[in-house]
Amino acid sequence: MKKKIAVIGSGIAGLTIANLFKNNLNFEIMVYEKEKTLSLEEGYGIQLAPNSVSILNKIGLSSLDNKEFSNPSNLNFYSSDNHKICDLNLSRFNSEEFKYTTLKRSVLIEFLKNELFANNLRFGKEVKKISQIKEKLLINFKDNTNDLVDFIVISDGVFSNTKSIVENKSIQPVYNGSIAIRTILKNLPVSNYDKNSISLIMLKNSHIVIYPINKKGELNVVCIIRQKLSNNIDLKALIKKEIISQNKKFRKSF
């Protein structure tokens, strides 16, 4: 008899494990997502190490259009005045089949969604309660529906409500004292950065990561600034103080 698996959360982790189980005849898989739809906004970039690629290739990632991803060869470190400090050769971790890969998060989500059957996804399903009935698990959802399963995979992210329900205590993410600001650029702000590699620019109290996310010339930019988060934070003023003041060539980028 098939074992039934409930996956809570339709992010990259949830959709990946659902795809891996989908073709196994010993299991019946269902993904539950509390939102009404799957977010396929343009989003920002994601980096996949060769081990991640080897897992995703099991469900067909290698068939993705070649223009939709990039394979950076190096990680280059720069000082605040754009001088290269050192580099790390990423290709040394690659194999012929599995290479360090970057792409848009939305492209990866859409690929994972398309590999699943429509009846493997349920939206508007927020977990209310989980109970054990003999060797089964009963999931009660806030829309007054329920499901009886053999296993539950919790993959609803760092702000997970389900983990708190299972552990019967409040579980909150720990804030590490930094803010991440993301954007996508069409052109590099500084000419000596290699657009086919990952650039890490070291600044005082912050750093910037720039890397290609496809072969269309788009670049993902992430700024990590050590700053306490607050509701009334002025991002423009913060970027000017922590980034542009140290490297004026980033002015046009932001």
Sheet architecture: strand order including 121-123: 121-123, 27-33, 3-8, 151-154
Q: Residue 249: what pLDDT?
A: 83
What is the residue-level pLDDT of the chain in tens, covering all 254 positions?
A: 899 999 999 999 999 999 999 989 999 999 999 998 877 676 789 999 999 999 999 999 999 999 999 999 999 999 998 899 999 999 999 998 999 999 999 999 999 999 888 889 999 999 999 999 999 999 999 999 999 999 999 999 888 889 999 888 888 888 888 998 888 988 877 778 898 999 999 999 999 999 999 999 999 999 999 987 777 888 889 999 999 999 888 887 77
Q: Residue 5: what pLDDT?
A: 97
The reported pTM is 0.88
Q: Residue 158: what pLDDT?
A: 84
88 backbone dihedrals φ, ψ, rounded to 5°: -125, 125
The 3-state secondary structure of the chain, one letter per residue: CCEEEEEECCCHHHHHHHHHHHCCCCEEEEEEECCCCCCCCCCCEEEECHHHHHHHHCCCHHHCCHHHEECCCEEEEECCCCCEEEEEEHHHHCCCCCCCEEEEHHHHHHHHHHHCCHHHEEECCCEEEEEEECCEEEEEECCCCEEEECEEEECCCCCCCHHHHHHCCCCCCCCCCCEEEEEEECCCCCCCCCCCCEEEEEECCEEEEEEECCCCCCEEEEEEECCCCCCCCCHHHHHHHHHHCCCHHHCCCC
CATH hierarchy code of domain 3-49+105-167: 3.50.50.60
125 backbone dihedrals φ, ψ, rounded to 5°: -115, 95
Q: Which CATH architecture has domain 66-99+176-250?
A: 2-Layer Sandwich (3.30)
Dist. CA 34–CA 124, nearest whole Å: 4
Domains of the chain: which residue ranges? 3-49+105-167, 66-99+176-250
Q: Residue 209: what pLDDT?
A: 95
